Amino acid sequence: MLELNRLCVDYGTTRAVRELDLRVDAGEAVALLGPNGAGKTSTLHAVSGLVPARGTVLFDGADITGHSPSEIARRGLVHVPEGRRVFPSLSVHENLRMGRIAASGRRGWTEDDVYALLPALVPLRDRAGYALSGGEQQMVAIGRALVSAPRMLLLDEPSLGLAPVVVRAVYDALARIATDLPVLVVEQNTVEALRLCGRGYVLAAGRLALSGTADELADRDSLLASFLGKR
Ligand code: ATP
C-alpha cells in the first residue's frame, strides 16, 4: 500500500532521515518509533509532500515522490499532524465537515459515522475547537481525517500530551479504524503503539535501528528502551 525506498530528508546540513526503507501493506497497522529528533515526523512530512525528499514514495503502486500535499491527500493518503490543528473558532461539527473539502467529492465516513465511533464527541458537537481538551481535539482531528475519505491514515504522535485514560480511548478508536484502513502511526508511546500495530520500525538519529513484529520489538524492550532513552 505504502512503500518508502531509500528515503532521505535533509534540512540544510542536518540529515534528518537517511536511506529509510519502510512498507505498510493493505490491512496493516505499522508503528514508526524512536526518540525525539529521530526523524519520525520528517518521514511523515516527506510522505505527505510537506518537505522535499530523495528516494521514492510509492502509494498503491503509484510514485507520489515530490507530489504536492493536496495531490497526495486527494489520493486518500491522509495525515493527522502532531498538535492536531483543530480550527479553534469552528465547532466540533464544523471541524468534522471540513474533512469533506479534502475528500473532494469522494465518499468518506459521514459525520454520523464519526459520532458512532467516538461517542464522546456527541455532547460536544456545538463546542468550539478552542474550548476542547487535548484528547477531544485529537478525536476531532481523527474524525475529520475519516470524513476526508482516507484510503490510509498517517498519524503523528496521537498520544502526545494526553492523560493515560485518554490515550487509551484514542487508541481504542484507532484499533477500530485499523480494521478498516491501513495505518502508519508515529509514536514515542511504544506500549500503546505496539498494542495497536502488528509491526514496527525504530528510528535513531535518522537511521533504521530496528524493525520487526510487535512481539519481537516488545521482547527487545531493553534495546528499544535504550533507543528511547527510557529506564
Ligand atoms: P519529535 O518526536 O521531537 O517530533 P522526530 O523523531 O519526529 O522527533 P524530526 O522532527 O523529524 O524527529 O527531526 C529530525 C531532525 O531534523 C532533528 O535533528 C530536528 O532538529 C531536525 N529538524 C526537524 N525539522 C526541521 C526543520 N524544519 N529545519 C531544520 N531542522 C529540522
- Between 186 and 105, where is the model more confident? 186
Q: Is the CB of 184 under 6 A from ligand 1?
A: no
Cell of 62: 503509484
Handedness of CA 42, 44, 47, 49 (dihedral sign): negative
pLDDT for the residue 124:
95
Ligand 1 neighbourhood includes 159 CB (under 6 angstroms) = no
Summarised one tens digit per residue, pLDDT across range 133-174 is 999 999 999 999 999 999 999 999 999 888 888 899 999 999
**Residue whose CA is closest, atom 3 of ligand 1?**
36
Confirm or reject: Cβ of 39 under 6 Å from ligand 1. Answer: yes
User: Quick check: CB of 67 below 6 Å from ligand 1?
Assistant: no
The per-residue pLDDT for range 54-67, each reduced to its tens digit, is 999 999 999 999 89
Q: Confirm or reject: Cβ of 130 under 6 Å from ligand 1.
A: no
Closest-lying ligand 1 atom to the alpha carbon of residue 34: 6
**Closest residue by Cα to residue 78 from 203, 181, 188, 190:** 181
Of 103, 41, 49, 101, nearest to 72 by C-alpha is: 49
Rounded average pLDDT over 70-87: 88
Q: 18 CA distance to ligand 1 centroid (A)?
A: 13
Rounded to whole angstroms, what are the CA distances from 67 to 46, 77, 156, 194?
Answer: 10, 12, 20, 31
Whether 16 lines ligand 1, by a CB cut-off of 6 Å, is yes
